[in-house]
Each structure stands twice: as structure tokens, then as C-alpha cells.
Chain A
Amino acid sequence: MLFSKAYVRKTKRGSVIKVLKEHYLRDDIYCGVPGCQRCPEHTTTLSAEPRQTTAVRSPHYIVPDTNILYHQIDVMEHAAFVDVIVLQTVLEELRHRSLPVYNRVRALTAEPARRFFVFCNEHHRETFVQREPEETPNDRNDRGKPFNRRRPIRRAVEWYSAHIDSKRAVVLITDDRANRAKAKDAGITALSLRQYVESLSGFPELVDMVAAVGGDDDDDMDASAADKKFVYPEHLSPTQISAGLKSGAFHQGVLNISAHNFLEGSSMIRVNNEEVIVQIIGRENLNRGVQGDVVALQILPKSEWRSGVSTVLEEEVVEKDDLEEPTTDAATVDKTLDKALQEPATEQELKPTARIVGIIKRNWRPFCGTIDASSVHAGSTSTQMQSVFFWALDKRIPKIRIRTRQAQSLLGKRIVVAIDAWTKNSRYPAGHYVRTLGEVGDRATETEVLLLEHDVPFAPFSPLVLSFLPEEGEAWVVRDDLHLANREDFRSWDVCSIDPPGCTDIDDALHARLLPNGNYSVGVHIADVSHFVKTDNAMDLEARRRGTTVYLVDKRIDMLPGLLGTNLCSLRSNVDRLAFSCLWEITPDAEVVSTRFTKSVIRSKASLTYDEAQARLDDPKMTDSVSMSIKALNMLAKKLRARRMAAGALTLASPEVRFRMENDSQDPVDVELKELKDTNALVEEFMLLANIYVARKIYECFPECSMLRRHPKPPATNFEDLGKALEPFGVKIDASTSRTLSDSLDAAVDPNDPYFNKLVRIMTTRCMMQAVYFCSGTLAEPDFWHYGLATDIYTHFTSPIRRYADLVVHRLLAASIGYDKTYSSELTDKAKVKEMSDVLNYRNRMAQQASRSSVELYTNLFFKGKTVVEEAYVIRILKNGCSLLIPKYGVESFVYAAPVPNQPPLLALHPTMNALTGAGPDGEVVIKLFDKVRVQVTVEEAGVAAAQRSKLVLRLVEPNVPGMCPVVETSTARPLGGAATTPARTTRPAKKPKRK
């Protein structure tokens, strides 16, 4: 039954090498159609009685081609599509083109209820089609699209038509017209996806979801006539781009659109082996590049370079009146805008600019957002197809044109939209509707949006994952007969935990005990999560995928199922728990004499909050063993900390806030800044100590594959701007080592303003690099340095319940001490560890951003219906405005003057100083960096009528610059007017300047 078909092909991988592969053809691959007369009985997911539609009268199965699955995966994922035959040819092509799409198709084929059947046509004796000599999977045609292998697909459909009985049919779905014609010649029924979807009854939304690009099908591409007037420069072909990249004429970079100006992008490129940031300014230079795309850039001549100071420009403001199809006016507005943005800088330092000549790889993802209400034709009936605009929540994404039949019902909803294409004669990208999430402003919907936007996996744990939990469930207990092997019994020790109030996932506990020799025995006990989560089972894989627990203001997205996180692993008081202990003998001078690691069983004597622990610390009368233990720990922590500070560890700051919620409605009623107590520092100190010692241990045993954490030294250029801004205050920032930086931060004090030092620390934090996980075998030892903590090696060991990296480190440590002798090969695979660190770094970044967005969401909720006047500090000067930080709420936003054609700007950059000037009622007003100003804070909501992005709006109150200051709303000013800016509701009497 084995047939061999060996063939030769070339692949290109640096050098040309000849790859010889065997290809076996088989007779034992079956069609998957139930009740087939020609095949023996076999398992299949297809149903015996598939559906019939108006287009295809007989019951039929569907065979999509590669482009359909690639471009229209959203449609194929819709529950309406069942009884689909996926060909192996298609799957292989998909994997070459896009792994994420391939994985989505695989998820469909793995789900029996969806009835997607994979037919291995490439290995079937009768359907195998020899590749044509010039046709290899890596080949691309002149339009940069990979070949769609049509012949084998048609051959397979032909075979099916002949193979199955006459009562049922097989339909080829392809958007390639030529392919359809050829299929008709061969007697195969072939339809485009749109044709097929329109013949389906009961799924009106499906038509909306069909992507606007359908391969060669151009009948859907009727972009409006006005649109055609707008022409972007042509993108270069992949061959031209790669030639240009090789010759050095072009540079490759990832496009990053500025968060405060949709027409300003930047990209990090390598020129002569040096990393350079180039700016890409204006619609024409951006040339259809979208945030995150990998683009080919051409550096512009020096005469077009400009200063690094940027302008604030918000798309919804600029394009507000541009709701109808863009007119020729729009083009002129664009020109003026582009010109205004590109105004040659004065004597300030010039920074290179570039233009996009081609796109190397699009990085489009589905976007959450809302329909622009004013783009919906009011009078239209609900089912009429129309073009509407979509605003993505992410400000860096341009508005997207979608075609929909349900425009009216989508108003005021959060929906998901995917971009399909951006042709050169279309001003905006074209996309399609994917699904509806819920009402705008609904808290559950907004939270889901936030999680989707940050790619946080938040679905409930699957039954498969949960099946790996201990069978006993809540009733699980430490059993001496089962769990004590190779574990030390510390249950009699005075261990306690100190955490924030309301903490349910306690992953660390501590103890300290005076030894007879005058030294202290100190232990850090960490929840033994690796005991419950075994390598590579479904629960482990899910935790690895999540990477970290994500903390939002109102909820927590756990990395591990709750039973483990908040119960079995959580080191609660007065129950036996498994732990991984790190034990030291420490002298009263806080010198470590010896270190030991062991798996253990502990019984925490008390779960304290920071305040409770602080109370025990402060009360000299408390002499019970736990209190004495805390006192000893505190004494040692202070000495350890002093030593760490002397070595140059940094104390940085971030304006973190906490919301006080109203209990029943979960509405934020107050905002407070998080503050630190002695006990916080105590716990932190010992966690650092444990992490450092564990890092040394695992690195000693596994020098090639340890998962460590490093914090690179920030390049001196990061501090240039800050240094310049601080010059007038007589403060110098020296970042050459963390030691000098720490000293300069301590010296940065303004006797008149106690907040000044904090502000400098906040700004310094932003100049820092991100700390990252890495695999020890991939870097030289000096690069292991952790700049912020001033330590030569570091890792994460102390929070395995909420961080996957810690779990990996636990496994490494268990292997290092010989506890786990049968560890998996994956643990010591350098490439795997590197890959895993990259994923974890990404997940951590996303989790952080999600938390920040959540705070932002609640800040907006907090300010809803309020108008507050607050003190703010200028933390960044831009061309037409400045960025402000309000310490009281930890809020940061912009105050800026929108550019108005033919009028001098209300706020302008001072020609020589890094400051803004404006005309005040009593002469010129100058706003410098670190100036204290007063602003009015309101929230502008994304509502049903003005369906845009919800945002905080700041208006300058002091200094008074007419035109920049709050005005009493008139009825014509804004349709939504409403409570948002009613002065009567200000919480503090504000000095309201009248408009002159």
C-alpha cells in the first residue's frame, strides 16, 4: 500500500541546496462522506445529510480554496459554515502564508461540532498532482501574492464528484474567476464566497463579514467614485524592495504611529550598524502604512528633515467635517496639513525623516471600535447595503471603511472590524465587519474590548484544562504518606505571609528565627505550583499561553484555575501547604553565611496585611513568635536595603492610583495614589534576595538554558531631553551607572515644591529600558546586569501563581537540587527557552498595557459627569501643545491648539527655548517644562450620537490663554453637550477666565 514518489526541488535558504524528499501515495485515505459505498467504514466529522441552498439545490459539501480561508477566515469561522472539506494542499499553503490563520483553521478541524473534514489529497493515489517544475511553494507571482495552487484543488473536487453518490454534491468555493471558469469546464460546481453566502438563508450578518478583497474578484471593489481621486504613491514590488534593501537604498523597520498624532509615524532602522529613529510625517509619506506594519523606508534628503518635536493632531478632530465621501477639499486640506506638519524647523536639531516606499509585511489584526454615526445614511432602511466609517479604539489606526447591511443596528455598539486592503486610490483602508461585542459604555463590553485589544486570552478554562486539577478538588490536603517524600517538614515553624488587603493568591511566606550561634535562620517559602502543574499537560500549556495573571481595576484574569491560584497553592494561614523554600543563615549584620533550597511543607501562622504587619512592627509590646519574626526580618531588610542602595539600586516612581469602589455598583467613588509602607519594603527585600540566589543557583547548574531577567542600561541619548529640561533647575542627570543616576535623583530637589523630586523620578522611569526575560545561553555574562536593582544576575522565582516565568524557574531549580530527576528535555532546550522568554515578554507588556487601559477606563468613569479643576505639571513640550500630568489622579493628557488654516496658532513652540508661547490677556504667556499649571478636566464620551473614542479633555485654566480655556457651551457647539462640561458641577470653585 505504499507508493513512493521521490522528487527533487530546490529551496533557497542562504545558499541554494537541493532537497530530496520522499512522497508516499496511499490507497487508505478515505473520503469522509458517511455511508460512502466505495470506502470502508471510517470515522468522519461530516454529516450524512448536508445542507442545500438556493444556489446549490442538492445537499452538498463545501471545498474552499486557499485564498478563501486566508482572506475570509472570519466568515468561515461563522457557525453557518458546516460540512466543509479542507484539502491538505490548502492547509499546507496556508501554513506557509500565515501561521495564525492556519491555527484558526486547525482549531475548526479539531472541533467535531463544526464538521470540518481534512482530506489528505496530496497523499491520495488518485488525487495527487505532480507539481509543475516552476511551481514551488515559495514562489510568488509578480503581484507579491503566493501562488494559489489551483490544479490539485480542482483535481480533488473532481475526484469527489465522481466518487460520491449522485444524491450529494461537492461545491468549490473560490473568488478566482479564472479558476471558476476552468472548474465549470471540468464539470465542477464553483461559486464565489459572496455568491454562496447570499444563497444562505438565516444569516444576514454573513454578507457583511465577507472581506472586500476576494482574490481576483473585482465586482466587490466598487470604491466610491470620489475616492478614486485620491491617489497614494504606488508601493514597490517585493523584488524591488528586496533589491533596494540589499543595496542600502531602503531600510526595513516597524512603523509606529504616534499616539497623539495620526499623521506622524516613526520607525527604528539600522543605518551603518547604528540604530536610528526616523520620522515619517504626513499622509503621503506614510503611504498607507498602518501601525505595526513592517515597511520599507527611504530616507528623505536633509532639506526635508525636521526637529524631533512633534505636533498634536487628532484624527477625529481633523476629519470631523469629513463625514461624507471625501471631496477634493479633503485633498487640499491634506496638503495644508502635510505642509504644516513638515514646516522646516528653526535652529533646533534636525532629525531624519523618511517615506514609505513599500510594505514588507502587514500586521493587521482585528480592531475593536465603533461605527461613525454621521457616516450612516439616516433614511436608509435597515437592510440596505451601505458604506460606513469605523473608528478603531486604538488611536493609531486610521478610520476604516466597511460595507454593511446592518448599519442602523450597529450604532452605539462596540464591534470588531478587520482590514482587508488599502488600495492606492482609496483614502481609507477597506475592511469588513467581524462581530458585535455589546453596547458602548457597558462595563462588561468595555472590559472585553480592553482584553481583546491587548491580546489577553480571557476565555474560561476549558474542561480539558480543568481535568488536570487534583481530583479531590477543594478537599485536597497535604497527606504525609503521599507528599512528604523528598520534602522537609517546616510545619512547626513560625511562618507568616504579608500581602495587600484582599489578596487571595498568596504565593510567598516568610520566617526568621534566632539561631543559638547568634545568626538568623531566614526563609522565603514560595507556593509549590510546579507540584500541581506538570510540564506539557493541557493546564501547563494554557498557563504558558497566558503567561501571566492580568490585573484590571475590577477583575483579575488568572493564569491558573482558581482552585490552584486562590486555594491549593495559596499559602493561607493555618492549613498545610506545599512550598519551595529558600533558606539562609544570615548574620545580624545581614551577611549571608549559607544558602539552601528545598521543597517543603509549611503551615503559615498568620496571613497579615501590610497594615497589620506594620502594627505588629510598631508595637513594642507584641512579643509573640510571629511578631518577633517580623521584627527580625525588618531589621535585616533595612540593612540589606541600605547595602543595595549603596550599590546603586534605583528608587523610581510611577503615578500609580487605586480606585475606591462603591460596593454594589462597582462605580469608582474616589481615586487614591498607592503608597508604600515599611512592610512593603520588607517583603520586597527578601523576594529580591530569593530571586538573586535562585538565579545564581540555576545559572550554575544550567548555564546554557536558565531563564533569567535583565534590565539593560539605558542609552545616554534617552536622557538628553530630560537633562536639557532640568538644566535651568541646576539639576544634572548622570546615567552612566545606576549608582550615579541614583545620586543625581537624590540631589534633584526643589525646596519650593516637594513634588518636584517625584516628578523627576517619574520622568526618569520613562527613560528606562524594559526589564526582560532571556535565556542565559543567548547572552554574554556582562549583559545579565540588572540596572535598576544593581545586581549581576536576577530572575523571577517568587510569584509562580501569577507568572509563568517563575514556574519555569521552579522547574529549573527543582532539577538543580536533584528533586526532579526526570525533567523534560524542553526545560533544557536553549531554543525553546529563548522562544518562551520572547512570548512571556510580549504577554507581560500586553498585561501591563491592559492594566493601564483599565485604569484609564475607570478614570474616565470617575470623571463622567464631573468637571474638575486641578493642578498639573508640564512633562513634555510639543509643537502646538504640551503633555500634562495631574499628580492627584495620576492622569496624563494633552493640552493643544488644533491647527487652523491661515491663522497663527494659539500656542506655538518658542523658537529658541523648549517652551510654548501664547498670547494671554496681559501679554505673552510662556509655558516651560515642569511648570505648574491649572487645568479643567472633563471627559468626552463616546456616545451613540458622536460615536468616537472616549477621552479625557484638558483645558488650560492658568495661565490664561484665550481660545485654550474652557468656555461655556453654547447649544451649537457640540451635539452631545450635556453634563460633561456644565460648570455648575465643578467640585472646586475654579477661577474661570472669561473669554475676551
Chain B
Amino acid sequence: MVNGSNAFKMTSKELKLKSVEYRKKILKYILQAKAGHTGGSLSATDILNVLYNDVLNVSPENFASPDRDRYVQSKGHCVEALFVVLADQGFFPEEELNTLCKYQSHYIGHPTRKVKGVEQNTGALGHGLPICVGTAIAAKLDNKAYRVFTLMGDGELPEGSNWEAALSAAHYKLDNLCAIIDKNSLQITAATSDVMNTDPLDEKWKAFGWAVKEVNGNDIEELRTAFNSLPFEKGKPSVIIAHTTKGKGVSFMENELKWHHGVPSKEQYEQAMEELDAERINLERLSN
């Protein structure tokens, strides 16, 4: 493994504080742009946090290196979470996010490679996993140690391309590949189980030849533990089914369909900031 798995770069408390900070910024830029995918960015915040601060061997310094770890955000619509985390990692100055969704800005409503730190252009669902299979095969061909990660939505899973790629990943024994499913159980129309049921999800992935772990995807420790035990089985691709809450961190956004791409009013934004600040103060009181 490229990262020392025993030496955590940040304490869990520090990571939890990061999540609060990220959530605040996600909402700030969504408010400013008057557009964004709020619910799914907030459900995925902890996953991105742990990936970038604890797991991925990727940084502005090594981004050109063929040995870097790859992260591809298949649920591209939740770009606000990605941009906020990339800015925090130093890929670009955070002020640039003031141009989010503005005329001629590179910071649009989906990940694009015009933005430093973004691996692949995404936005049409069901594209991340196939690309990652290719990227993981390349690592095997070139005897490289980098690992490949993709974040998918649970609503995204009915796209057939995902299952075509799932077959390939197992067929080629891609244990350098890890898919994370942000299972927040909602999509646009309704609950995922009502739109197109994919449960029991663990059994499907197992049947496709993957090693599966289920975690609370809004729990920093559970995420760290899972990521630090990759690959779950030698010779198999790994999937983390991350059970999350859509809109996590802001009471009135949690588990509410309308916050899929709802944009907060000024008042709602301020209320959200109050809640997140209260969480920060609570966390600061805790020991590490």
C-alpha cells in the first residue's frame, strides 16, 4: 500500500471537524451559484473527506505522476463536495469557487478535467466504474501499485454499464479497484427502492464476484477502518456499501427528496450554518 495504513494523517476528531467545515462550504457555494446538488453532496462529504485526507495517495504535487491513486466521481452531480475538498487539498485557490456555474468558468455543475485534481469528466451516470476498470487494468499491466476508487450513487446503479463493468472487474481480478456506493436511499423521483429496487445489494455484488463491506458512510471511523482493510479479499475488487443520510448534517435537509437539488434561501442557509457551527462546537469539546 502506498499510504502507511498504521499512521493516520489526521485524528478522527480532526476529520470530523473537516466534515463540518466542508459541509459549510458546500452550502456556501451552492447558495452563491444558486444551483447545486445539495443532498447528495452532503451525504458523500464524509466519504470524500476520508478518501482525500486519509486514503488516497494523490496531491497537487503528485497529480501528474502515473503512480498516483485515482479517484473518479461517478455521481458527478455532487461536484460541490468534490470541488470543496479539492480546494482544501490545495489543488486550486478556494476563491476560484466564487465563479461556480458562472459564464466562462471552469467550475461547472459537474467534474471536468479543466479543474485541477479532477481525474475524469463525469456527469452522465454509469460511466465511472467502466473507466475505473480500465484504469485498474492499466495498473496491473504496468505493474503499478496505485489504487482506483469510484463513488457511485445508489440511484445510479440501474445503469447497465455498471454491471457490465462489475463483471469485467471480477473477471480481471482487480483487487486494486474499490467502488463506494453512497447508499442514501433517495434519488430524484422518490426513494430508490420505489423507483427501481436494487436490494439486496450486497448479494448482487457478491454474485458478481466482488468482496463487500457495509458501513455507516457518515461515520468517519467506520469509513477509515473499511478503507484501511483494502483489498477486502485478494484477487477480488472491493465494494463499500456506505449507508448514508441524504442531506446529512442539516436537520431540515436530511432524508428530504426536495433537497436533491434544492438551493437554500438565505434564511435556510443561516439556519444550516447555525446547526453546523453547533456541531463544530460540540466536536471541539471532545477529546481526540
Q: Do A and B come from one complex?
A: no
Chain A residues with CB under 8 Å of chain B are none
